[in-house]
Amino acid sequence: MLEVLISLPTLLVCTFLSTLVVGIFLLLHLYSGRRTAAAVYWCVSMWVGSVASVLLGLRTVIAPELSIGVGNALAALGYSLTWAGFRSFDHKPVSRIAVAAGPAAWTAAYLFSDTFAADMSLRIILMSVVTTAYSLAMARELLAGHRREALPSRRVIAILLASHAVIYALRIPFAILSPVSDGSRAFVSPWFAVFALEIFLHTLIVAVSVLILLKERSEFVYRHAARTDALTGVLNRSAFMEEATSQLRRRLQTGVLMLLDLDHFKAINDTYGHQAGDQVLRGFAAAISARLAAGMVFARFGGEEFVLFAPDHDLDQAMEFADGLRRETQALSVSHYGTPISVSVSIGAASVLLCGGDLDDLITAADCALYRAKAEGRNRVSIAGPAESLMQVAERMREMDIAEPLAAVAR
């Protein structure tokens, strides 16, 4: 029944059309100026897959050497190029040997083994091995890249690719236990018809998936740019406020916020120029970023001032960590046209335990502590104590005293 409902030539025509359409979209993507190695690999793989579908669909019309031999070699090449695209998508090197391995294995078996060329079941087994290997490799690349760049569709596409690999591998026992004839009625086997339908659906899914991934990558880049300081590459102020607020909602009893201000930065700009000042900012941001532990949020707050929130630190840990940052900054090697530039930082810190879990209150308290560190000679760490907390309470009471008469007038 299935072999009557599912027509392999029709599926091949549909596969050709789907890969052709996606290939055209990818060409437009490349010509729009968004040329990436991944998009090039995927574009070529779609066009190669389209040609393979045409050749395989014409197997009863043209010579088997062309339809079966070249058609399946191109199909294997399409899979290997798609894998290369997934690897390149995560900026990993692509092995030419790995790309050529699948097509070369098929070509060698078809050209140098008459038994293999004449036995459809053997050909199914080899193509199943090639396709399964590349599909699993694609799924692995997607999952590995999810740790660095958590695009929404990565895991879903990886699961679909892994599922396809498992399904395709099942063709091997079917080909062994229920061999398929290579005669005029080669496609009437029920199991062959079902697997042919799955191949078409998989091809369609992969074709759409590459477009989705390219779209999600573009959106990720734009979001990242909107949340990142262009000069230093760390988070900007608005992104920090969002991240730190989220951290504070989860941890109400722990955490220390630190304001870090580079000492005499205006003098650096005036003496060496703004280019040197930018170099100092970049070097400082890179040095601090390298010392961050998991969960810490670090950002440029404005000018030469940076902010860091350590959600799991108490006061003692924060003092030790902040002093390490101070020493790291003092040892920072920044040279401008051969002239060494001395850099130091003053740090004011405020803890959730003493100052509460409101982000604005923490920033105010840390700013008071930073001011004290500057007044006491710079290049030091100062912790906000009860005095800064009392100042915040007094400030709130002052605001309430002003707000109540205004409310009375309004009434």
Look at residue 304 and tell me if it is in a domain: yes
The whole-number pLDDT of residue 410 equals 40
The residue segments making up the domain with residue 336 are 237-410
Q: What span, in angstroms and rounded, lies between the C-alpha atoms of 365 and 387? A: 9
Number of domains in the chain: 2
The whole-number pLDDT of residue 137 equals 95
The whole-number pLDDT of residue 8 equals 66
The whole-number pLDDT of residue 253 equals 74
- Regarding whether 258 and 213 lie in a shared domain, the answer is no
The ranges of the chain with pLDDT < 70 are: 1-9, 11, 33, 180-193, 196, 251-252, 386-411
The whole-number pLDDT of residue 313 equals 86
What beta strand segments (E) does 135-285 contain?
256-262
- Regarding whether 384 and 333 lie in a shared domain, the answer is yes
Look at residue 112 and tell me if it is in a domain: yes
The whole-number pLDDT of residue 353 equals 86
Look at residue 34 and tell me if it is in a domain: yes
CATH number of the domain enclosing 276: 3.30.70.270
Look at residue 176 and tell me if it is in a domain: yes
The whole-number pLDDT of residue 186 equals 45
Look at residue 232 and tell me if it is in a domain: no
Task: Please identify which of the residues 141, 243, 304, 305 carries the catalytic annotation.
Answer: 304
Look at residue 293 and tell me if it is in a domain: yes
Catalytic residue list contains 304: yes
Report angle CA 17, 46, 159 to the nearest 5 degrees. 100
Domain termination residue (choose one: 227, 256, 274): 227
Domain termination residue (choose one: 191, 208, 227): 227
- Regarding whether 256 and 178 lie in a shared domain, the answer is no
- Regarding whether 263 and 188 lie in a shared domain, the answer is no
- Maximum Cα interatomic distance, the chain, rounded to a whole number of Å: 100
- Regarding whether 92 and 27 lie in a shared domain, the answer is yes
- Regarding whether 266 and 206 lie in a shared domain, the answer is no
CATH number of the domain enclosing 15: 1.20.1070
Look at residue 123 and tell me if it is in a domain: yes
- Regarding whether 249 and 142 lie in a shared domain, the answer is no
- Regarding whether 377 and 353 lie in a shared domain, the answer is yes
Cβ–Cβ under 8 Å, residues 385 and 368 = no
- Regarding whether 280 and 137 lie in a shared domain, the answer is no
- Regarding whether 198 and 288 lie in a shared domain, the answer is no
- Regarding whether 243 and 194 lie in a shared domain, the answer is no
Nearest to 111 by CA among 72, 139, 156: 72
Look at residue 308 and tell me if it is in a domain: yes
The whole-number pLDDT of residue 185 equals 47
Domain termination residue (choose one: 227, 257, 288): 227
Q: List pLDDT tens digits, range 151-161.
A: 888 998 999 89
Nearest to 347 by CA among 305, 315, 385, 388: 305
The whole-number pLDDT of residue 258 equals 95
Query: Taking the model in full, what pTM does it have?
Result: 0.68
Q: What span, in angstroms and rounded, lies between the C-alpha atoms of 278 and 276? A: 5
- Regarding whether 297 and 185 lie in a shared domain, the answer is no
